[in-house]
Amino acid sequence: MNTPSSGANAAAETLSEEALDALSRAGTAAATADTAGAAAHRHEALLSSRAANIKQSAVRDVFEISMQPGLVSLAGGNPYLQSLPLDRLAKTAAAIIAEHGLEALQYGGGQGTQELREQICAVMAAEGILDADPENVVITAGSQSAQDVAAKVFCDPGDVILLEDPTYVGALNTFEAYEVDIQPVAGDEYGLIPSALQKTIAELQAAGKRIKLLYTIPNFNNPSGVMLAPERRQEIVDICREANILVLEDNPYGLLKFDGVLPEPLRAANPEDVLYLGSFSKIFAPGLRIGWALVPAHLKQRYYLASEAVTLCPPTFSQLLVSDYLRNYDWRGQISTYRTLYAERCAALLAALEEFMPAEVSWTRPEGGFFVWLTLPEGIDSYPLLYTGIDAGVVFVPGAAFSASHAPSNKLRLAFSAVPAETLREGVRRLAPVLAEAIAAR
């Protein structure tokens, strides 16, 4: 197994597409100009009304700059793949093509292979779901695609999706492409607040809104790192059931709780009321684009057919590689390795924040996942600080990226997953004066 490398290399790591996406949302105000540049083109009349909801980036140019060597990226939520046994995986990939090439390179079933669906049930058992049936698993081209299909199956324009604020930028992008009315629910350091959920539902229903889904990342929310308290979980599902709202539980980071003591997923005791999304992107390899949905039995066929209409079938070769990894490798041991690695990095990041940050800055202390969420004093917009941060040699994701409102935000996200401890410290050392200056200039 490769050992994690450290030091200079990591500084040059490029930003993940997830981060690209995240950043792309930060500057939506100035966004339409670029696309609208050809506004007079007669094809503008051909665009769907949803196309206008799919946001244009005003920050992409920044990325060209941010790729420069020497910059410390705290932006990208990339897993640390240096920790994988790449040489062995190379042999596995070769064996799959040599021995099963006619299957690996051919069209496959729209729901994914039987073997991988069974193995995914074992992964979900490790996540705390003990009764999953492979028949109700739909494998997708990454978890992003599973979100897209969920929105497709359930949401008409104007329908409401409730979600945490902040939440995963990719989900916001996906939902907005369905012209969904995205409504945040208040949370605190223990995640969504049940009474707030109840109040939001009541208000929206009183206003005549159709609420379809609650989208939630209960374990180590991206970007906040917050974990939903176990004692709130059943209450949240009960509230949704009562209001006939389906829970869309997104759990890519669940297995990465540092101490390995996992809270039960919302899905565990609620097979009928929770559509559960899982992913190999954080525990194995995002480049394979293999995610899945565990769909309530009565909704599975609808979901499956919609998924098939989007991508025909998930990547076959990728599925066989994941299957071999789950069959023949110590994937549980690899998750333990990741837990230790990410716990160390998180601790290093928190220690650096303690060491360097101005007193006015606060942050979350996650128990797992990839991210720490910083809060600046009220009234400071973190978005312009992106540019001064880059000048100082450090990149982060401004908080506005993670909110449907796109309003100015005094928050920002730091990712510790892909960066060795000493580089994390250097990044924070560079970032602190940028924030201090902004605070002083208030």
- What residues numbered 89-128 form the site for a second copy, per CB under 8 A? 89-91, 93-98, 101-110
Find the part of the chain contacting a second copy (CB under 8 A) among 67-75, 195-203, 228-236, 311-319: 311-319
Residue among 90 and 440 whose Cβ is closer to a second copy? 90
Task: Tell me the per-residue interface mask from 54 to 93 with a second copy, x by CB under 8 A, - otherwise.
Answer: xxxx------------------x-xx-xx-x-xx-xxx-x
Residue 312 in contact with a second copy, rule: CB under 8 A: yes
309 binds a second copy (CB under 8 A): yes
Q: What is the gyration radius of the CA atoms in the chain, in angstroms?
A: 21
| Size of the chain in residues | 442
- In the bound complex, what is the minimum distance in angstroms from residue 33's beta carbon to a second copy? 11
Is-contact 227 195, C-beta < 8 A?
Answer: no
Question: Any residues with CB less than 8 A from the CB of 188 and at least 6 apart, and which?
Answer: none
Rounded Cα distance between 125 and 112, Å, is 19
Q: Alpha carbon 73 to chain centroid distance?
A: 17
Q: Using N-to-C axis directions, what is the helix angle for 421-440 and 331-356, rounded to 10°?
A: 40
Closest CA to 307 of 108, 28, 74, 24: 108
Contact 72, 11 (CB under 8 A): yes
3-state secondary structure of 160: strand
Question: Using the rule CB under 8 A, which residue among 64, 69, 298, 441 binds a second copy?
Answer: 298
Question: What DSSP assignment string belongs to 323-381?
Answer: HHHHHHS-HHHHHHHHHHHHHHHHHHHHHHHHHHS-TT-EE---SBSSEEEEEPPTT--
Find the binding residues for a second copy in span 3-22 (CB under 8 A).
Answer: 16-18, 20-21
Nearer to a second copy, 86 or 440 (CB): 86
| Residue 51 binds to a second copy (criterion: CB under 8 A) | yes
| Per CB under 8 A, 299 contacts a second copy | yes
Q: CB nearer to a second copy: give 262 or 305.
A: 305
Contact 74, 431 (CB under 8 A): yes
Residue among 39 and 207 whose Cβ is closer to a second copy: 39
Question: Which lies closer to a second copy via its Cβ, residue 151 or residue 392?
Answer: 151
The distance of closest approach from Cβ of residue 136 to a second copy in the complex, given in angstroms and rounded to an integer, is 13
By CB under 8 A, residue 142 contacts a second copy: yes
Q: Which stretch binds a second copy (CB under 8 A): 50-58, 225-233, 338-346, 387-395?
A: 50-58
Which range touches a second copy (CB under 8 A), out of 226-234, 306-314, 350-358, 420-428?
Answer: 306-314
Q: What is the distance between the alpha carbons of residues 427 and 72, in angstroms, rounded to a whole number?
A: 5
Residue 10 or 132: the one with the smaller Cβ distance to a second copy is: 10
- Report if residue 204 touches a second copy, rule: CB under 8 A: no
